[in-house]
């Protein structure tokens, strides 16, 4: 009996400890449980009610309970059972035991890597852990400053927040009013935070305000992961399994984040659709869109996806890749980049092909920095993926699907016809998947414009086969309009991306591979001499072969100069390219002296 009493006593102590430690910050409580020396007994009793019995007393007496109930009706404060979200002490202890078991399980795992990043002003800790019986490592994300009980309190505040702030549908769908909406929420959140956590320091209050804004206006924990620079893809497969992410270093990983139910996934999909002026429903269960920051989103609803509702986020780098990054990461060699630069300078058309996630669009963005700054560029896409440097004269165009009545469709052909009236110097046709995109691409070339597009194919030969055979069926006689094919490749074992082939299309529509990637040496090697590309360059430049090689050597020198001086920002690379086209002698003077342009 004594042991049983001791067990019950320890059980109660554990429960009060749980409710007492409801707000922690980096292993330190932000709310002190002991009453301050100068506090009066009356203020201590009010503090006990407002903060869910954070004091060290084992339990309130009956008189305190009655006063607390009366006080809560007047001030709408949180009661202890509200803080526990209506859960019984037994349920709370079961959760605590589950957490303890999870910690014990974590200790058996091998930590592959650990790092931190900031999601706005929220510090996030990440661990990639390999467990013994798991075949895929786990991506564990944690907000160290927020405990489980604190999350329950913040969820109650968030529910009150929704009742206090009313937004119109126009404000929700207008991305230009995002800051206005956030300010509305922030004002109300600050009032509620001060109400329930009056003793917090300003830094912690700002932290909680940011957290609640992300939970209320954003995608919750998904939005937090979006700020991890190592993450490329975020996937919701169904509510029955955790989120998956594709990590730049570790590939596909499970996460410790779960979706509560299918309705939450549907809500996220509908919210994204509203932001881009679209809708997703049972009658129209597919969504393909891009967010304001350039990230791409695809969503499907059940029963089209039989396992459950899905969302796939494809992140684009917040800091766009430049040719300097490609050279530093050995994605491409300076010799190959110089050849592509020369071809693009003299307006020869090209196709950038490769497998899924091989870096086709990133390569197109990188190579677009070779365009002269005084030329107008028009891009035509189904879903906007191309992102070009700001210094370029660029107009992006996107297609539009028909509405529910079958009206309002804007096709790629419509945009092409319209773009020809916009006096473009270069036309970028987004990913070519179907016959109509291929027709658009070749029609653009034959209107006298230099055109560039991405395409799904693993080799140059496969690119040609896919283009001339069903379902695309481009007439074989039209292929020589494409001067160059650039193949991108991703090694799925290492995650490295490389330029796999640079090939030319001969007048008889056959393929000649000039440069080929050697996986053993991890380098792009010349495997044959040009039979067509060089002749085309001579035709359009008036150069002899020696002059072309001299020009290539000069470009290669500039590219190496970018790497040596670590000029890898978009604006930095853009300035060098603009200088090359406008003040070539001045640029070469700096390159020869290995000095940056600002060092005049």
CATH number at residue 189: 3.30.450.380
Q: Note whether 434 and 488 are same-domain residues.
A: yes
Ranked by mean pLDDT, the top range of 65-74, 121-130, 208-217 is 121-130
Ranked by mean pLDDT, the top range of 197-201, 405-409, 480-484 is 480-484
- β-sheet bridge partners, residue 328: none
How far apart are the C-alpha atoms of 296 and 313, rounded to whole Å?
6
How far apart are the C-alpha atoms of 407 and 401, rounded to whole Å?
9
* Mean per-residue pLDDT, 238-257: 94
Q: Note whether 244 and 294 are same-domain residues.
A: yes
pTM: 0.70
Asked, for residue 573, whether it belongs to a domain, the answer is: no
Domain boundary among 76, 100, 124: 100
Q: Note whether 246 and 223 are same-domain residues.
A: yes
pLDDT above 50: residue 117: yes
Q: Note whether 89 and 114 are same-domain residues.
A: no
pLDDT above 60: residue 184: yes
Q: Note whether 309 and 346 are same-domain residues.
A: no
Of 65-79, 355-369, 370-384, 390-404, which range is least confident? 65-79
Helix or strand run (H / E) with residue 380? strand 376-381
User: Among candidates 58, 48, 56, 33, which has minimal Cα distance to 78?
Assistant: 48
Asked, for residue 465, whether it belongs to a domain, the answer is: yes
Coil, strand or helix: which one is 114?
Answer: strand
Of 149-153, 253-257, 344-348, which range is least confident? 149-153
Domain boundary among 478, 512, 533: 533
Q: How many separate domains does the chain show?
A: 3
Domain boundary among 510, 533, 556: 533
Asked, for residue 557, whether it belongs to a domain, the answer is: no
Under the banding of pLDDT at 50, 70 and 90, the label for residue 246 is: very high
Q: Note whether 29 and 131 are same-domain residues.
A: no
Of 28-32, 222-226, 306-310, 426-430, which range is least confident? 28-32
Instruction: Please state, for a pLDDT cut of 70, what percent of the chain lies above it.
Output: 76
Of 161 and 462, more confident: 462
- β-sheet bridge partners, residue 129: 111, 138
Tell me what pLDDT residue 254 has.
95
pLDDT above 90: residue 58: no
What are the C-alpha distances in Å from 390 to residues 207, 419, 574, 583, 588? Answer: 33, 20, 9, 20, 24
Rounded to 5 degrees, what angle do the CA atoms 201, 226, 142 make? 50
Under the banding of pLDDT at 50, 70 and 90, the label for residue 78 is: very low
Secondary structure of the chain: what % helix, strand, coil (to 5)?
45, 20, 35
Instruction: Please state, for a pLDDT cut of 90, what percent of the chain lies above it.
Output: 46
Of 383 and 219, more confident: 219
Of 309 and 50, more confident: 309
Tell me what pLDDT residue 348 has.
96
pLDDT, tens digit, 9 for 90 and up, residues 565-596? 999 988 889 899 999 999 999 999 999 999 98
pLDDT above 80: residue 418: yes
Q: Note whether 45 and 112 are same-domain residues.
A: no
User: Among candidates 447, 466, 489, which has minimal Cα distance to 347?
Assistant: 447
Q: Note whether 378 and 274 are same-domain residues.
A: no
pLDDT above 80: residue 173: no
* Mean per-residue pLDDT, 390-403: 86
User: Which stretches of 167-309 are assigned E, i.e. beta strand?
Assistant: 231-236, 244-247, 251-255, 286-290, 296-300
For the chain, the average pLDDT equals: 80
Asked, for residue 576, whether it belongs to a domain, the answer is: no
Ranked by mean pLDDT, the top range of 54-68, 357-371, 386-400, 453-467 is 453-467
Asked, for residue 286, whether it belongs to a domain, the answer is: yes
Spell out the residues 6+ positions from residue 66 whose beta carbon is closer than 8 angstroms to its own. none
Q: Note whether 91 and 198 are same-domain residues.
A: no
Q: Note whether 304 and 378 are same-domain residues.
A: no
Q: Note whether 91 and 112 are same-domain residues.
A: no
pLDDT, tens digit, 9 for 90 and up, residues 5-51? 444 444 444 433 433 443 343 334 333 333 333 443 444 444 443 33
Asked, for residue 142, whether it belongs to a domain, the answer is: yes
Asked, for residue 324, whether it belongs to a domain, the answer is: no
Asked, for residue 196, whether it belongs to a domain, the answer is: yes
Under the banding of pLDDT at 50, 70 and 90, the label for residue 88 is: low
The CATH number given to whatever domain includes residue 352 is: 3.40.50.300
Spell out the residues 6+ positions from residue 284 whose beta carbon is closer than 8 angstroms to its own. 404
Of 184 and 475, more confident: 475
Domain region containing 360:
336-533
Q: Note whether 409 and 425 are same-domain residues.
A: yes
Spell out the residues 6+ positions from residue 174 whose beta carbon is closer than 8 angstroms to its own. none
Tell me what pLDDT residue 11 has.
42
């Amino acid at each position: 009996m004594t042991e049983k009493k001791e067990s019950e006593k320890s059980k109660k102590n554990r429960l009060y400890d749980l409710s007492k430690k409801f707000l922690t910050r980096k292993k330190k409580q932000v709310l002190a449980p002991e009453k301050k020396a100068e506090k009066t007994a009356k203020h201590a009793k009010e503090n006990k009610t407002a903060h869910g019995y954070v004091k060290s007393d084992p339990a309130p007496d009956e008189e305190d309970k009655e006063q607390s109930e009366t006080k809560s009706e007047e001030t709408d404060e949180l009661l202890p059972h509200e803080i526990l979200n209506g859960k019984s002490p037994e349920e709370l202890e079961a959760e605590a035991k589950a957490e303890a078991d999870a910690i014990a399980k974590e200790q058996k795992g091998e930590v592959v890597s650990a790092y931190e990043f900031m999601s706005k002003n929220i510090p996030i800790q990440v661990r990639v852990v390999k467990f013994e019986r798991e075949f895929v490592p786990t991506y564990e994300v944690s907000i160290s400053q927020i405990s489980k009980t604190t999350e329950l309190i913040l969820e109650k505040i968030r529910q009150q927040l929704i009742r206090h702030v009313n937004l119109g549908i126009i404000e929700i769908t207008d991305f230009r009013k995002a800051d206005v909406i956030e300010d509305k929420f922030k004002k109300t959140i600050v009032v509620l935070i001060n109400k329930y956590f009056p003793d917090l320091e300003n830094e912690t209050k700002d932290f909680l305000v940011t957290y609640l804004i992300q939970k209320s206006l954003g995608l919750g924990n998904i939005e937090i992961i979006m700020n991890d620079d190592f993450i490329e893809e975020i996937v919701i497969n169904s509510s029955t399994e955790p989120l998956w992410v594709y990590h730049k270093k570790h590939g596909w990983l499970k996460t410790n984040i779960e979706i509560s139910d299918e309705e939450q996934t549907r809500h996220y999909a509908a919210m994204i659709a509203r932001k881009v002026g679209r809708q997703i429903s049972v009658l129209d269960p597919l969504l393909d869109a891009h967010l304001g920051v350039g990230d791409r989103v695809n969503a499907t609803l059940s029963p089209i996806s039989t396992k459950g509702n899905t969302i796939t986020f494809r992140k684009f780098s917040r800091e766009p890749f430049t040719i300097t990054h490609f050279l530093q990461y050995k994605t491409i060699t300076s010799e190959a980049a110089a050849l592509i630069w020369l071809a693009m300078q003299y307006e020869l058309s090209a196709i950038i092909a490769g497998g899924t996630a091989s870096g086709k669009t990133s390569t197109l963005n990188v190579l677009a920095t070779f365009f002269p700054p005084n030329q107008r560029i028009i891009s035509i896409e189904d879903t906007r993926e191309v992102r070009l440097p700001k210094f370029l004269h660029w107009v992006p165009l996107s297609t539009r699907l028909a509405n529910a009545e079958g009206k309002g469709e804007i096709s790629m052909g419509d945009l092409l016809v319209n773009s020809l009236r916009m006096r473009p110097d270069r036309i970028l046709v987004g990913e070519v998947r179907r016959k109509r995109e291929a027709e658009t691409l070749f029609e653009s070339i034959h209107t006298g414009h230099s055109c560039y597009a991405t395409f799904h194919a693993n080799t140059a030969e496969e690119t040609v086969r896919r283009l001339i055979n069903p379902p695309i069926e481009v007439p074989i006689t039209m292929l020589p309009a494409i001067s160059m094919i650039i193949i991108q490749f991703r090694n799925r074992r290492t995650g490295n991306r490389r330029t796999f082939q640079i090939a030319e299309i001969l007048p008889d529509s056959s393929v000649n591979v000039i440069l080929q990637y050697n996986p053993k040496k991890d380098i792009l090697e010349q495997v044959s001499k040009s039979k067509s590309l060089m002749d085309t360059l001579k035709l359009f430049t008036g150069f002899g072969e020696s002059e072309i090689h001299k020009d290539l050597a000069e470009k290669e020198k500039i590219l190496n100069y970018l790497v040596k001086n670590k000029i890898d920002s978009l604006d930095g690379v853009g300035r060098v390219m603009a200088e090359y086209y406008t003040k070539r002698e001045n640029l070469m003077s700096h390159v020869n002296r290995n000095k940056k342009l600002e060092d005049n």
